[in-house]
Amino acid sequence: MKRVGILGVDLRAEGVIKALFKAAPDAQVFLSPGNSEAAQSAAREYPCWTLDNHQAVVDEADIIFINTAPAALHALAGSIALRPSHTLISLVPGVQISELRQRFTHFDCARALLAPVNDAGHSVVILTAGRQDITPLSALFGSVNLLSRESEFNVAETALR
């Protein structure tokens, strides 16, 4: 499994962490101090590493989840340097892939949304088309709905808010 970094830990990110460790107990997950209380709580409950800053997380991980307020994206983008091999997955509501690519000067971006648990007790992951190698990671969280058009993702995101 690839090493996962999460920039911005809150309840939504805790859901990602919980699902990840439930499916892959040996996962290597690195957290930034976003909400330090939430990050510390997640690190106590799961074998995560809480690092000092966003760049330290980026340096350790292969796949980066960003989970900040939309207004904080500019500052976040200016504070990290991504490698070409990184995959950036946004959990930030309402931020388009084109904006992510522009702000982070990085091409390999996708958007993800963890939908509430379905009738079978599994989460549903809604994912924009990105590199195919993130689909298996996303499948750890539940069934994956890969949407080829971002407009479809926007409709799903609006419906689930």
Given this model, what pLDDT does residue 79 score? 95
Given this model, what pLDDT does residue 41 score? 86
- The per-residue pLDDT for range 91-132, each reduced to its tens digit, is 998 999 999 999 999 989 988 887 765 555 566 677 776 556
Given this model, what pLDDT does residue 112 score? 86
Residue 152 scores a pLDDT above 90: no
CA 34 → CA 3, 39, 90, 137, distances in Å? 19, 7, 15, 23
- The per-residue pLDDT for range 44-57, each reduced to its tens digit, is 899 999 998 999 99
In three-state form (DSSP H/G/I as H, E/B as E, the rest C), the secondary structure along 64-123 is: EEECCCHHHHHHHHHHCCCCCCCEEEECCCCCCHHHHHHHHCCCCEEEEEEECCCCCCCE
Given this model, what pLDDT does residue 3 score? 94
CA–CA dist 64, 127 (Å, integer)? 15
Q: Which residue has the higher pLDDT, 152 or 95?
A: 95
Given this model, what pLDDT does residue 115 score? 72
- The per-residue pLDDT for range 10-45, each reduced to its tens digit, is 878 888 888 888 888 899 999 987 667 888 888 889
Q: Which residue has the higher pLDDT, 147 or 104?
A: 104
Question: Which of 2-6, 36-40, 156-160 is modeled with the greatest confidence?
Answer: 2-6
Tell the CATH topology of 4-112.
Rossmann fold (3.40.50)
Sequence-separated (6 or more) residues with CB below 8 Å from residue 112: 65, 89, 90, 91, 125, 126, 127, 128, 138
Given this model, what pLDDT does residue 161 score? 65
Q: Is the dihedral of CA 148, 109, 92, 34 positive or negative?
A: positive
What does the domain layout of the chain look like in residue ranges? 4-112
Given this model, what pLDDT does residue 39 score? 82
Given this model, what pLDDT does residue 151 score? 83
